[in-house]
Structure 1
């Protein structure tokens, strides 16, 4: 199990009012944040996730690194849509400071950032930032949506610079389409590695579902995404409960 500290950055610029992603660019991010948090903390109970916003007058911390989703939810409720575009470099640098202050220095450092508005920084500055992240062994996953065509060239070059031999950083570009944003992230390389158990066997299907949806009368989870999400979260909670009971039983037997 990967031991990781992850800082998630949402885009809260005025572009997030756009309804080209269901139900809006902004709400689509919030739904995806929950999926990311559940995957990260279920992978390893010592993993922590923090939350930032990027799009207003400045980047803001919404939640410190935590494994308590209540804190993340409180941070999401405290965020609001404001500002035009985003300062990609500034928010990444601030996120790095937040990760540097993690309590457990053995945790790997990762940033997951949503980009749904035009990037205001020039390409040379962005590539320089990529070299700094690589030097400091900080992985980054970029969810490029909304204004994805405008940002793709810069982000492609950035990921090429920042990636290490393990290819631990990812660029996921999601155009407008029939599927929900969280569905596309859930079955992408950003979260796919989490889907493997210790023997390399995937717990999730190729369609991004958890376990056997057929047991719940669903042959295709994409037919009812909201029900599929509820099933996914329910199964995750059940697996976590079983793991806790197993751990408690082992402790009692010692």
Structure 2
């Protein structure tokens, strides 16, 4: 499994108020961030994910690289819809955040939600793509909402930056599927070895007992249930490990002979 540090860039421009993706473009992104975070951390427990926005007055890092989903939720809570997007600047800020990752062994990846028109011209995008490739940074672009305007630019961008198909352009038109469902079955997660991007602790694919294509909500509920069970088991292991490190005393020793002395049991 690939050891990876991933920065997710949200589109928080005024275009995200549009309701053509249920329940809205903005909310659809937030559900997708939930899925992407768990898919990445479940594929390798040492993976880390960060979150930033690229709308408003300028890009903003909301959460630095972490394996704690609570911090991602806090970053989501701080995100506000405002103005347009800063596509190139946002990616450059994400590149800087990845450069300062603690574990330099981590492969670098940026995932960008693009639901607003991109103002940059093709020459500027080409320079940015070459810089990403030079720094061995993979990028996934989730193109939705304004795909008729952006697709040609983004196709050219991915063709330059991709190295052995390590980068992807996922164009998602309006439809009955939720945004995260389309991402789930896209080439972005093809290499995870599971259509859900989810594996058991033993490294084998988790059999939900239900076809995610038929009932994606059930599959998601089962995935979250398994996540809760893993957390419970982790807490139980930690409790047992803490208990095993405590000193053991011989029965009756705590009563002593009145002088408060006691003997530790030899291990």
TM-score, reference length from structure 2: 0.81
Deviation sequence 1:172-229 (CA, Å, 0-9, x none) = 000000000000111111122223579xx982xxxxxx52334xxxxx4455543332
Deviation sequence 1:11-39 (CA, Å, 0-9, x none) = 00000000000100000000000000001
Q: Secondary structure at the match of 2:104?
A: coil
1:212 and 2:208 correspond: yes
The alpha carbon displacement at 1:235 in A equals 2.5
Q: Secondary structure at the match of 2:130?
A: helix
> Partners in 1 of 2:208 and 2:219 — Cα distance?
11
Aligned equivalent of 2:140: 141
Aligned equivalent of 1:36: 36
1:191 and 2:182 correspond: no
Aligned equivalent of 2:171: 173
Which structure 2 residues correspond to residues 76-87 of structure 1 after superposition, within 5 A?
76-84=76-84, 86-87=85-86
Aligned equivalent of 1:154: 153
Which structure 2 residues correspond to residues 49-198 of structure 1 after superposition, within 5 A?
49-84=49-84, 86-165=85-164, 167-196=165-194
Residues 43, 61 of structure 1: alpha-carbon distance in 2 compared, 3 angstrom cutoff: same
The answer (yes or no) to whether the contact 2:208–2:219 under 8 Å persists in 1 is: no
Residues 241, 4 of structure 1: alpha-carbon distance in 2 compared, 3 angstrom cutoff: farther
Residues 59, 234 of structure 1: alpha-carbon distance in 2 compared, 3 angstrom cutoff: same
Residues 244, 5 of structure 1: alpha-carbon distance in 2 compared, 3 angstrom cutoff: farther
Q: Which has the higher helix share?
A: 1
Aligned equivalent of 1:217: none
- Report the structure number with the largest CA radius of gyration: 2
The alpha carbon displacement at 1:246 in A equals 9.2
Aligned equivalent of 2:16: 16
* Structure 2: gaps (5+ residues): 245-267
The alpha carbon displacement at 1:241 in A equals 6.2
> Partners in 1 of 2:226 and 2:189 — Cα distance?
17
The size of the alignment, in residue pairs, is 236
The answer (yes or no) to whether the contact 1:14–1:83 under 8 Å persists in 2 is: yes
The answer (yes or no) to whether the contact 2:20–2:174 under 8 Å persists in 1 is: yes
Q: Report the RMSD for the aligned CA atoms in angstroms.
A: 2.5
Residues 164, 92 of structure 1: alpha-carbon distance in 2 compared, 3 angstrom cutoff: same
Moved over 3 A (4+): 195-198, 220-227, 236-249
